[in-house]
C-alpha cells in the first residue's frame, strides 16, 4: 500500500535537512514498508533492514567522522527517527536507542580508548542497548538491585535487567549497577558489557502489544566479570550519565511518536479520498474533513515541539522542560491520531490487512517507556510551577 506523509513544517528545516529527512523516508517506504507486517507477526527485525540502516549511516549519525561516523547533529538523528517511524515505529526505536542513548553516552562519557574501540563498530555493524530498568526500578529508575563488586582490576556483576530494547540484536550493552546500595543514586555506575561476556546471558524475550519487531528482553548477570577499563565515566557517576542521556532520549521517543502520528494521518487521509459511501468519497463529508483537520493540527503541534527541543539541545541551551513536554505531548497525540485513523478506516481499520491497526498498537508504548506520562508531568510541574 502506498504511503503518504503527514503535513510537514518545511520552514523549520534547511534544504539539507529536508533532503535528508525525505531521503530517509523514501528508503523507509520502499525498503521497510513491504516488510512491516511480516516483521510484526514474526516479532523479528529483518536482518536486511538492519544491514541497510548501517549502510546508509543511520546507525551512527552523531558518531564523529574521525571514528567512522557521519558526524551529524542530534537534530538529524531526530529527523531520521521521525522518518523511519512514519513507516514502522519498531525500526524507529532501533535507530533511536542506537543514536540518542548509546552513541550519545559514549561520545560524551567514554575514554578515548573506549571511543576508538566501540564508536567505529556502532557506526558500521554493532547495535547498542541501554540497560537501566529492573523489576523494582521502572519510574524509580535508581532503585537498582543489580550489584557490582570490585575485585582487583575487575568488577563482578550480579542481577537482572528487564525490558531492554534492542537486546536480541545488540553487541554492546550500557549496564547500570550499584556499587553501594547504602549510597543511593551516588553508588550507581555504568559499565560497557559486550555480548558473549562470561556470566552474561539473555533471558526471556517479551511478547508485546506493539512495536513487536523490536526486541525487548531480560538480561541476566551471574558473576559476570567486567574489567575496570570498561567503566563508562567514573564509578558512582552512572546516575548522571543516565539522567543526561534519558533527557535526550525523550526527544527521540517524541520523534518516534511524531513519525507514528504523521504516518497514521497520511494513511487516514489517503483512505478518506479513496473510500466511497453514499455515492461519494468520505473525505467530501464535512465531519470527516474536520476530523482530519484536527488530526493534522495535532501532528503539526507535535512536530514543532519535537523540533524545538532538538534545536535547543544542539544549541547547548537548557531543554529538560521541553524534552519532557514533547515526550508527553507526542505520546498523547500519537495514540489519539492513530485511534482516529482506525475510525476513519471503519471496519477495515480493525483488521491487520491495513496499516493503522498496527500503528494504534504501537502508539501505546509512547506513554510508558523512557519515562511514563506521569513522570513527564511531574518534571513539567516542577520546572514550571517552581518559577511562580
Report the catalytic residues.
Answer: 370
Pairing label, strands 172-178, 154-165: unpaired
Counting Cα atoms < 13 Å in the Cβ hemisphere of 156 gives 6
Query: Burial code of 142-181, b = ≥16 C-beta within 10 A, e = fewer?
Result: bebebbbeeeeebbbbbbebbbbbbbbbbbbbbbbbbbee
* Cβ atoms 40, 358 nearer than 8 A: yes
Which long-range contacts link 203-209 to residues 24+ away (Cβ below 8 Å)? 203/160, 205/43, 205/167, 205/168, 206/163, 207/43, 208/43, 208/365, 209/361, 209/364, 209/365
Fill in the DSSP letter of residue 143: -
Which position has the grid cell 511518536? Answer: 257
In terms of Cβ atoms closer than 10 Å to its own Cβ (0-12, 13-18, 19+), residue 239 is buried
b/e map 313-337, b = 16+ CB within 10 Å: beeeeebbbbbbbbbbbbbbbbbbb
Burial of 73 (0-12, 13-18, 19+ CB in 10 A): middle
DSSP per residue, 249-283: HHHHHHHHHHHHHHHHHHHHHHHHHH-EETTEEGG
Closest C-alpha among 243, 246, 317, 311 to residue 101: 246
- If one counts every other C-beta atom within 10 angstroms of the C-beta of residue 242, the result is 23
546516575: which residue's cell? 239
Question: Is 249:96 a contact under the CB 8 Å cutoff?
Answer: yes
CA distance linking residue 356 with residue 370, whole number of Å: 24
Amino acid at each position: 500500500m502506498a504511503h503518504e506523509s503527514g503535513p510537514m513544517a518545511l520552514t523549520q528545516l534547511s534544504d539539507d535537512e529536508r533532503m535528508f529527512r525525505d531521503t530517509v523516508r523514501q528508503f523507509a517506504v520502499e525498503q521497510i514498508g513491504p516488510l512491516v507486517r511480516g516483521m510484526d507477526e514474526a516479532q523479528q527485525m529483518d536482518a536486511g533492514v538492519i544491514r541497510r540502516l548501517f549502510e546508509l549511516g543511520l546507525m551512527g549519525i552523531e558518531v564523529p567522522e574521525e571514528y567512522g561516523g557521519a558526524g551529524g547533529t542530534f537534530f538529524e538523528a531526530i529527523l531520521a527517527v521521525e522518518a523511519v517511524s512514519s513507516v514502522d515505529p519498531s525500526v524507529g526505536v532501533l535507530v533511536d536507542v542506537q543514536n540518542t542513548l548509546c552513541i550519545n553516552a559514549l561520545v560524551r562519557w567514554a575514554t578515548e580508548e573506549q571511543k576508538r574501540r566501540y564508536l567505529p563498530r556502532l557506526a558500521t555493524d554493532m547495535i547498542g542497548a541501554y540497560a537501566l530498568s529492573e523489576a523494582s526500578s521502572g519510574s524509580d529508575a535508581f532503585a537498582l538491585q543489580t550489584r557490582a563488586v570490585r575485585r582487583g582490576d575487575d568488577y563482578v556483576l550480579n542481577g537482572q535487567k528487564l525490558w531492554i530494547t534492542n537486546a536480541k540484536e545488540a553487541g554492546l550493552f550500557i549496564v547500570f549497577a550499584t556499587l553501594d546500595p547504602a549510597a543511593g543514586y551516588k553508588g550507581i555506575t555504568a559499565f560497557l558489557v559486550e555480548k558473549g561476556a562470561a556470566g552474561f546471558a539473555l533471558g526471556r524475550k517479551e511478547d508485546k502489544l506493539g512495536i513487536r519487531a523490536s526486541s525487548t528482553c531480560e538480561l541476566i548477570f551471574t558473576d559476570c566479570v567486567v574489567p575496570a577499563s570498561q567503566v563508562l565515566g567514573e564509578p558512582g557517576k552512572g546516575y548522571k550519565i543516565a539522567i543526561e542521556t534519558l533527557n535526550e532520549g525523550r526527544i527521540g521517543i517524541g520523534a518516534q511518536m511524531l513519525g507514528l502520528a504523521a504516518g497514521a494521518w497520511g494513511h487516514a487521509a489517503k483512505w478518506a479520498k479513496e473510500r466511497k459511501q453514499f455515492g461519494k468519497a468520505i473525505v467530501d463529508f464535512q465531519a470527516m474533513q474536520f476530523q482530519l483537520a484536527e488530526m493534522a493540527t495535532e501532528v503539526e503541534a507535535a512536530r514543532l515541539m519535537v523540533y524545538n527541543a532538538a534545536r535547543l539541545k544542539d544549541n547547548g541551551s537548557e531543554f529538560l522542560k521541553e524534552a519532557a513536554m514533547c515526550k508527553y505531548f507526542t505520546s498523547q497525540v500519537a495514540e489519539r491520531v492513530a485511534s482516529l485513523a482506525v475510525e476513519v478506516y471503519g471496519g477495515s481499520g480493525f483488521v491487520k490487512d491495513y496499516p493503522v491497526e498496527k500503528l494504534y498498537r504501537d502508539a501505546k508504548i509512547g506513554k510508558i517507556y523512557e519515562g511514563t506520562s506521569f513522570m513527564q508531568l511531574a518534571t513539567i510541574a516542577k520546572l514550571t510551577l517552581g518559577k511562580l
